[in-house]
Amino acid sequence: MLRVRRWIRTIAAVLGLIVFVGTLPSAAQETVKIGVILPLSGPLAPTGQELRRGYELMVDIVNNVYPELAALGLEVAGWNGIPSLGGAKIEPIFADSRGEPAVGADMARRLILEQGVVGLMGAYQSSVTQTVATVAERHGIPLVNSDSSSPTLTTLGYEWFWRVTPHDMIFDDDLFNLLDGLVEGKAPGVPAVPKDSIRRLAVVVENTEFGSATGNDIVNRLAPERGYEVVEYMRYQANSPDLTSETARLVNSGADVYLFASYVSDAILFMRTLALRGAKPTLIWGQNAGFTNPDFVQALGPALHGVLTRSLFIAKIGEVRPIAAAINELYRQRYGTNLSEESAREMLGVLAWAHALNNAGSTNPRALQRALNELDIPGDQLITPWQGIKFGSRRPGEKNQNIYATGMIGQYQYNPETGGVTLEIVYPFEAATADMVFPFPGWD
Partner 1 sequence: MDVVLDIGISGVLMGLVYALLALGLTVIFGIMDTVNFAHGEFLMLGMYAGYLTYAYLYPEPLAGVPVAGLVGMLLGVLAYTLLVKRLLSGPPIAQIFGTFGLMLFLRYGALAVFGPNLRSATQGLVVAKRLVVGGLTLDAAKVVAAAGSAFLFGLVYLMLRRTKLGLALQATAANREAARYMGIDTDRMNLIGWALGGATAGMAGALLVNFYYVSPTVGMVFSMITFTTVALGGFGSVPGALIAGILVGLIEVFTAQVISPQLKLAVIYTVFFLVVLFRPRGLLGAR
Binding site for partner 1 (CB under 8 A): 46, 207, 234-237, 239-242, 244-246, 248-249, 252, 264-265, 268-269, 272-273, 275-278, 293-295, 298-301, 303
Q: Give the residue with the Cβ less far from partner 1, 178 or 201.
A: 201
Q: Give the residue with the Cβ less far from partner 1, 230 or 426.
A: 230
DSSP codes joined into one string, 71-116 = HTT-GGGGTSSBGGGTTBEEEEEEEE-TT-HHHHHHHHHHHHHTS-
Q: Give the residue with the Cβ less far from partner 1, 287 or 433.
A: 287
Q: Give the residue with the Cβ less far from partner 1, 230 or 351.
A: 230
Query: How many whole angstroms separate alpha carbon 101 and alpha carbon 133?
Result: 11
Q: Residue 204's closest CA among 115, 101, 274?
A: 274
Q: Give the residue with the Cβ less far from partner 1, 273 or 309.
A: 273
- In terms of DSSP H, where are the helices of 164-208? 168-184
Q: Give the residue with the Cβ less far from partner 1, 251 or 409.
A: 251
Helix (H, G, I), strand (E, B) or coil at 258: strand
Q: Give the residue with the Cβ less far from partner 1, 45 or 330.
A: 45
Quote the least distance from Cβ 437 to partner 1, whole Å.
Answer: 20
Residue 243 · residue 260 · CB < 8 Å:
no
- Encode 175-204: b = buried (16+ Cβ within 10 Å), e = exposed: bbbbbbbbbeebbbebeebebeebbbbbbb
Residue 197 · residue 183 · CB < 8 Å:
no
Quote the least distance from Cβ 310 to partner 1, whole Å.
Answer: 21
Quote the least distance from Cβ 63 to partner 1, whole Å.
Answer: 33
Quote the least distance from Cβ 44 to partner 1, whole Å.
Answer: 11
Q: Give the residue with the Cβ less far from partner 1, 115 or 239.
A: 239
Quote the least distance from Cβ 239 to partner 1, whole Å.
Answer: 5
Torsion angle, alpha carbons of 52, 336, 261, 168, to 10: 40
Q: Residue 387's closest CA among 360, 363, 400, 406?
A: 406
Quote the least distance from Cβ 274 to partner 1, whole Å.
Answer: 11
Quote the least distance from Cβ 93 to partner 1, whole Å.
Answer: 28
Quote the least distance from Cβ 218 to partner 1, whole Å.
Answer: 17
Residues 6+ apart with CB under 8 A from 24: none
Quote the least distance from Cβ 144 to partner 1, whole Å.
Answer: 30
DSSP codes joined into one string, 319-330 = GT-HHHHHHHHH
Cα separations (Å) of 140 from 105, 143, 159, 224, 364?
Answer: 14, 9, 8, 41, 10
Q: Is the peptide bond before 428 cis (omega within 30 degrees of 0)?
A: yes
Q: Give the residue with the Cβ less far from partner 1, 74 or 284.
A: 284
Q: Give the residue with the Cβ less far from partner 1, 247 or 358.
A: 247
Quote the least distance from Cβ 323 to partner 1, whole Å.
Answer: 31
Instruction: Output the CA torsion sign for 316, 145, 53, 289.
Output: negative
Query: How many whole angstroms separate alpha carbon 384 and alpha carbon 429?
Result: 13
Quote the least distance from Cβ 383 to partner 1, whole Å.
Answer: 27
Q: Give the residue with the Cβ less far from partner 1, 120 or 269.
A: 269
Residue 168 · residue 214 · CB < 8 Å:
yes
Question: Whats the size of the chain, residue-wise?
Answer: 444
Q: Which residues pair with 95 in a beta bridge?
A: 37
